[in-house]
Amino acid sequence: MAHGIQFEALAEDALLLRFGERIDIELNARVQAAAARLRRRLPQLECVPAYASVLLRFDPACWNGHGGSDPHRRLQDAVNAVLGEGGEIPATPRERIIPVCYGGEYGPDLADAAAHCGLTVDALIDRHTAAGYRVAMLGFAPGFPYLLGLDPQLAMPRRRDPRQRVPAGSVAIGGSQTGIYPEALPGGWQLIGRTPLRLFDAAASPPSLLAAGDRVRFQAIGEDRFRQLAAADPR
């Protein structure tokens, strides 16, 4: 197969496309490009991108051949045809700036995190805001982005005792990943700051501020600006 995808029939209504077995920004970019193409050409499918795979969910009754033959095989052929098409260039990813108030009550683990990394608090903030991130996938909770691109020096273990309630908007580091809690949730990542933006609102269109494939940058803001933005339109 030219595009090197493994197909796996996971369930009656589900076909997994696996692009690799690593967390890797280039691999994930291929995943996002394939997901974008499949959504455009096969809009009747539900398309769920992850780090290194895309899950397709479909109605098996619509993909039955004559005599009820293998719907997964027919879907796989259709996917291969779509992904084999040349020409189209995937859309340029959106870039989102996420304002973050670092430290203090907004990021109670910031000082410990900086000490763990052997950095000053300011140096940690500089490194966290300097990097460009990509949303690899949404999961864990509605609108929760798993971000690729964390400076390796900022990697740190999760907390020994997860918090029962992490405030909505918390920006956190867990292992070699960084993410943002869209809602108040239990969580074990180290909290370094908080954004006033609302990441998920079921009544909004689209409901999630971020989508897989988006580019993200963090921008440090002060407490006054945090309160100002939080009081204004949270989007």
Residues that bind another protein (CB under 8 A): 8-14, 16, 18, 21-23, 35, 46-53, 55, 57, 60-61, 68, 70-72, 137-144, 146, 183, 200, 202-203, 206-208, 211-212
Query: Please, what is the minimum distance in Å from the beta carbon of residue 12 to another protein?
Result: 5
- With respect to another protein, which residue has the nearer C-beta, 151 or 201? 201
With tokens 């006033």, the residue in question is 196
Query: Please, what is the minimum distance in Å from the beta carbon of residue 74 to another protein?
Result: 12
- With respect to another protein, which residue has the nearer C-beta, 20 or 99? 20
Closest CA to 213 of 89, 45, 46, 95: 95
195's enclosing H/E stretch is none
- With respect to another protein, which residue has the nearer C-beta, 48 or 229? 48
- With respect to another protein, which residue has the nearer C-beta, 211 or 216? 211
31's enclosing H/E stretch is helix 25-41
Query: Please, what is the minimum distance in Å from the beta carbon of residue 88 to another protein?
Result: 20
- Please list, residue by residue across 174-192, b when 16 or more beta carbons sit within 10 angstroms of its beta carbon and e when fewer do: beebbbbbbeebebebbbb
Query: Please, what is the minimum distance in Å from the beta carbon of residue 203 to another protein?
Result: 8
Cα within 13 Å of Cα(230), Cβ side: 15
Query: Please, what is the minimum distance in Å from the beta carbon of residue 53 to another protein?
Result: 5
- With respect to another protein, which residue has the nearer C-beta, 35 or 114? 35
Cα 127 to Cα 69, 105, 123, 211, 215: the distances in Å are 55, 21, 6, 23, 17
